[in-house]
Amino acid sequence: MKTADPELMRAINRFHVMDAIRRFGPIARVEISDRTQLSPTTVSAITAALLDDALIVPRAIDSVRDAKDAAKDGVGRGRPRVMLELNPDAAFVVGVKLAPDQITVATTNFRADVLKTLTLPIRIDRQPVSVIADLVEDGVRRCIADADLTMDKINGVCVGLPGVVERAAGVCRQSPIFRERDVPFAAELKSRLGIDASVDSDVNLVTLAEHWFGMGRGLDDFIVVSVEHNLGLGVIHNGELFRGANGISPDLGDLLFRPPATGSNGGSGVGRLSEVASEAAILEEVAALLNGEAESLRRSVRGMARVVELAEAGDQRVLGVLATAGEALGFAIANLIALFAPPKVILAGAALSAGDLFLSPLRSTVSSLTPANLTDVSEIVVHQWGADMWARGAAAMTLRDLYGAPWNTTGPATT
Amino acid sequence: MKTADPELMRAINRFHVMDAIRRFGPIARVEISDRTQLSPTTVSAITAALLDDALIVPRAIDSVRDAKDAAKDGVGRGRPRVMLELNPDAAFVVGVKLAPDQITVATTNFRADVLKTLTLPIRIDRQPVSVIADLVEDGVRRCIADADLTMDKINGVCVGLPGVVERAAGVCRQSPIFRERDVPFAAELKSRLGIDASVDSDVNLVTLAEHWFGMGRGLDDFIVVSVEHNLGLGVIHNGELFRGANGISPDLGDLLFRPPATGSNGGSGVGRLSEVASEAAILEEVAALLNGEAESLRRSVRGMARVVELAEAGDQRVLGVLATAGEALGFAIANLIALFAPPKVILAGAALSAGDLFLSPLRSTVSSLTPANLTDVSEIVVHQWGADMWARGAAAMTLRDLYGAPWNTTGPATT
DNA sequence: GCTATTTTTTGTGAGATGCGTATTAAATCT
DNA sequence: AGATTTAATACGCATCTCACAAAAAATAGC
């Protein structure tokens, strides 16, 4: 823990004010004071500094007034409140999401509004790092240009990718994207683009996105299970992203389970969850069933759609694969509920496009396996987002740092 | 997150100073300044306040000097440092550990030195709450008297028990100790003893004990797996006890696994870890094998010792039970390593008395199942402590609060 | 034995912060 | 137009940390 000095004190309070403004849209100082428990004086001083730095702006017309006051007591009386909001142009950031078969880029402003997105449907897994970096660099530059911005206006870029990523070090320890291990991708991008770059686990991006814009809004505790090419686990604990020891993100796919005795592989032995429940595993299994179109299934971006098609046509084997995957993941989620007892479990990712064929077995497994004393604790919701939302999460990850530790040291209140 | 004001600032820094004094024994102000990164002036001001409140005392003779300075440069020159340490008599607390077959009580001083312990080898599980509270109250009163103290000198008591405990609410949600659920045991004890009382999960106690006095000293991240009557999981993350969402402690026994196909119960189906790997489960399994002495095994406090005896005598069935338990727990620990990637895993609890009969299968399972990229991350150590250490951990839990939020508001630095 | 040196500890003042009270600002109500 | 109401700010106070300097308390050297 850091030692406390006046500077930290103000950094904390400024962050609270920024956070209130971010979360509650255009908001008056009085309301910030209410929500943050800071005195009006302090809020005034901090917002003055923020206005000075142009991080926030007053909203010109006070048209929200009537709606506000109607909900309170009478029509507007007294001095009207000046609504404050984040200055959209205070900064711009870029988020990138790497998946094995596509790169998604999003440019956002300071309010995390997406200005432009760019999708490159290119198979990049197992390419050399330099090739991937080339593609990312190109995508970022194009997406910035698309938004009518220039590189010197961009404050940072964050890349999310599956696997084990050590954000603090800027290193990707291991990923299906890279052949190599311990790839210092943040430094690589930083030197290429000339701006701050960071890497993070893709599941952390979507977890932050859920916390900021999605189904985790307002919640201080929830977990996100992502079912993409890989499996990932994101945890929000006490309103903060839980990063595990050493900053190493947990990788859900490494979880073990014993396949059921009736399974294809004999019943003894031990498998990893990623071998059964990930999108990759499902496609692989189904491909093995269909000799004919195996290759196209594996290659296609829309492989999962084809699987669903087959399943809905009544192919029992495909249905079985989906059910097995759902049960295995349900097993794991029941375990996570036993461990974390989160009020909410959010399922995210491409494999969810299988819908109830996948989710029904999952839900029933979870509900039958959840410990008795936790049955009512956790609500499981499904949230299927496009890859651009993940990229937006990546942008948010950078913004989060900007809000918390402003690059521009805000001077004393007495300007 | 709380808002920051000068008071919080000082509370934080005072806690840092207290923590440094606690951890590094008799320590000079200069060294506190070094370790905490606080300025000497600030340290001086804070220690002055602490001395004023008699929370710390100067150590009379500076006999440590030579040893210190020999390690530094020359023999002592300059003004000798005044060593400071916690005032042992600044407060007294009582820790209690409840197990199904015994109550352990420890009275400690402000430095967490154990003054007296008391063990009541009484079977209390499934007794009415009032009976258990009677026993605890009596034990606490006796242990306080044994230490030549009176109740008005005691600043708090903490009770640890297996199961799911919500510390903040002072409620035991569920435990093998209590028949009832949602037992407000903290309030019960508080009204009986007239002093601050709290409850916590027993595994949290031993986790804190490891952090303060044991194998987790100096570590900011590690996990503790306790194998007692029940299974428990304690997590230290960023130097703080991880309490899970809602303050509900994780209960490792609720973890699921599929029994191996060769197992006794058929191979399909799903079991809970507590059904195989806990001390209770082991005793139960062995008891089922031995019709003759089943009851004595179940009743005896030393049941585990008898199991080991049988195993060492070569009883293959007993060996098998232990091996199965070890493997199941190893499976779970491999999963925990995949999730948390902790630098250290500490195994604690009574079931470890089985030694290598239990640990060898566990270790080999863990090492064969740990994900490839984490093999070198986690070190597994075994630490078998007596119940009095758990009680000491309970005492420490109360002291931790006293250090962090002193009951006696330390006045301004300018006396 | 006395002075110089070294190291630790403590005043003193400056700078920064949050908060409470009083004051100003800007609207609506009568 | 004046009274009322609500929002935002100015001012003074108390607190905190910190840098600098001074004091305290020992050893080293002559």
Q: A405 falls in which pLDDT band (50, 70, 90)?
A: low
Q: What number of helices (H) and strands (E) belong to chain B?
A: 13, 17
Q: B64 falls in which pLDDT band (50, 70, 90)?
A: very low
Closest residue to C4 (CA, C1′):
B78
DSSP 8-class letter at A242: -
Spatial strand order of the sheet with A83-86 comes to A27-28, A83-86, A56-58
Closest residue to D5 (CA, C1′):
A78
pLDDT in tens, A207-253: 999 999 999 998 999 999 998 888 889 999 888 888 876 666 777 87
A61 touches chain B (CB under 8 A): no
- What pairing do the DSSP bridges indicate for beta strands A222-227 and A231-237? antiparallel
Residue A267 pLDDT exceeds 50:
no
Residue A60: burial class (beta carbons within 10 Å; 0-12, 13-18, 19+): exposed
Tell me the whole-structure pTM to 2 decimals.
0.89
What number is the average pLDDT over the span B135-159? 95
Nearest to A260 among B220, B246, B258 (CB): B258
Residue A201 pLDDT exceeds 70:
yes
Closest residue to D18 (CA, C1′):
B39
Nearest nt to the CA of B42 via C1' is D17
Contact call for A237 and B245, based on CB within 8 A: yes
The DSSP code sequence of A188-214 is HHHHHHSS-EEEEEHHHHHHHHHHHTS
d(C-alpha B192, C-alpha B178), whole Å: 18
Residue B209 pLDDT exceeds 80:
yes
A334 touches chain B (CB under 8 A): yes
What number is the average pLDDT over the span B52-75? 61
Q: Which residue has the higher pLDDT, B186 or B356?
A: B186
pLDDT at A46: 95
Spatial strand order of the sheet with B154-161 comes to B114-120, B102-109, B92-99, B154-161, B197-201
Q: Given the structure tokens 């993100």, which residue do they identify? A: A249
In B, which residues are within 8 Å of A250 by CB distance?
338-341
Closest residue to C6 (CA, C1′):
B78
> How far does the CA of residue A11 sit from the closest CA of chain B (Å)?
9
Q: B297 falls in which pLDDT band (50, 70, 90)?
A: low
Contact call for B8 and A3, based on CB within 8 A: no
**For chain A, what's the residue count?**
415
- Residue B10 CA, nucleotide D5 C1', distance (Å): 39
The DSSP code sequence of A52-81 is HTTSEEE-SS-TTHHHHHHHHSSS--SSPP
Report chain C positions within 7 A of protein CB atoms. Answer: 5-13, 15-21, 25-29
Which residues have Cβ atoms closer than 7 angstroms to strand D? A 3-6, 28-30, 40-41, 44, 47-48, 73, 77-82; B 6-7, 9-10, 13-14, 37-42, 45-46, 74-80, 412-414
Nearest nt to the CA of A8 via C1' is C17
Q: Which of A339, A346, A366, A376 should one mutate to test binding to chain B, selecting the residue with the greatest count of B CBs within 10 A? A: A339
Report chain D positions within 7 A of protein CB atoms. Answer: 4-12, 14-21, 23-28
pLDDT in tens, A285-338: 777 777 656 566 555 556 777 777 777 777 788 888 888 888 888 888 888 888
Strand C and A58 CB separated by under 7 Å: no
What number is the average pLDDT over the span A389-394? 93
pLDDT at A145: 96
pLDDT at B408: 36
DSSP 8-class letter at A286: H
Residue A161 structure tokens? 């990718």
Q: Which residue has the higher pLDDT, A60 or A347?
A: A347
d(C-alpha B341, C-alpha A367), whole Å: 28
Question: To the nearest whole percent, how much of chain B has pLDDT over 70?
Answer: 85
pLDDT at B247: 62
Q: Given the structure tokens 């993070």, which residue do they identify? A: A200
Q: A409 falls in which pLDDT band (50, 70, 90)?
A: very low
pLDDT in tens, B345-370: 999 987 777 778 888 888 988 888 87
Residue B230: burial class (beta carbons within 10 Å; 0-12, 13-18, 19+): buried
What is the overall mean pLDDT for chain A?
Answer: 83
Q: B227 falls in which pLDDT band (50, 70, 90)?
A: confident
